[in-house]
Amino acid sequence: MISFPNAKINLGLNIVGKRADGYHNLETIFYPIPLEDILEIEVLDHTEKPFELSISGIPIEGNLANNLVVKAYLLLKEKYNLPPIHIYLHKNIPSGAGLGGGSSDAAFMLKLLNDTFELNLTTTELEEHAAKLGADCAFFIQNKPTFAEGIGNIFSSIELNLSGYQIFLIKPDVFISTAMAFSNIKPHQPELNLKEIIQKPIAQWHKWMANDFEESIFKEIPELGKIKEELYQAGAIYASMSGAGSSIYGIFKDNCTLIPNSNEGKYLLNL
């Protein structure tokens, strides 16, 4: 069976508190975008190996056994006595981009295993398994525009439909450690809650909607702030860094004239 794990962007990202376990409480809106990996599994017969993994597309650092799709498989394998499988993963979503690529792959693997082997896991059970694999994973189980709080795994539904808009996404060739980004943040309450902001016209969002990581990360890597400005100059009605970076996106009302080039980490997506 095959599936197409998609990426996400964060619309606003407010770090509102630090938890005893070292993680941070945040408020954000996760929005799925049509930039997708390809994930396929097939049952392996006559093998002693628990799994095989073939990866193509954008290279991923780290060894195969640490890949999040493997971690998702091993999470369910023991509990449900799953057979050995061959995993094929083609990467189109850049890593370390704030796009949830690895997390999406993991969540879609859980859904693929659930369907393939008819495990009958509920959405809540799948979200609980996903939350063990990363703060961003649980969102990709239902995979629809959602207000998230807690570490990013407590969801409340929202009405938000950006169909008809375009997103121009730029993934600069810089790496940002998510842990480091969080350590530079002083938690605070936002002036307006994101659920209120998205009730307003999208052209006004820039007055209140903020990604709290931008201040410290743009100071360290000014290039990222410049990219955000250039997106506004090119006509974006809203632009921001996604997650803890490093990708920067601009939302356009189908009038984007910028030229995409995935080899340069530039993507034009129709929502």
Ligand X SMILES: Nc1ncnc2c1ncn2[C@@H]1O[C@H](COP(=O)(O)OP(=O)(O)OP(=O)(O)O)[C@@H](O)[C@H]1O
What secondary structure does DSSP assign to 212-226, as a single string? TTHHHHHHH-HHHHH
Q: Is 228 a catalytic residue?
A: no
Which of 152, 172, 243, 250 lies at the binding interface for ligand X (CB under 6 A)?
A: 243
Which x/- pattern, by CB under 6 A, does the window 93-132 give for ligand CDM? -----x----x-----------------------------
Q: Which of 32, 172, 36 is nearest to 91 (CA)?
A: 36
For the chain, the straight-line distance linking the first and the last C-alpha, in angstroms and rounded, comes to 26
12 appears as a binding residue in the annotation: no
Options 22-30, 99-107, 210-218, 254-262: segment touching ligand X (CB under 6 A): 99-107
Tell me which of ligand X, ligand CDM, none is bound by residue 62, counting a contact when its beta carbon lies within the kind-specific cut-off of 5 to 8 angstroms.
Answer: ligand X
Options 95-103, 190-198, 212-220, 250-258: segment touching ligand X (CB under 6 A): 95-103
Which of 62, 80, 115, 183 lies at the binding interface for ligand X (CB under 6 A)?
A: 62
203 appears as a binding residue in the annotation: no
H helices within 62-143, ranges in order?
A: 68-80, 101-116, 123-131, 139-142
Residue 134 sits in the site that holds ligand X (CB under 6 A) = yes
Tokens 């570490």 correspond to what residue? 151
Query: What does DSSP assign to residue 155?
Result: E
96 appears as a binding residue in the annotation: yes
Helix, strand, or coil (residue 16): strand
Amino acid at 255: N
Annotated binding site for ATP: 94-104
Annotated binding site: 94-104
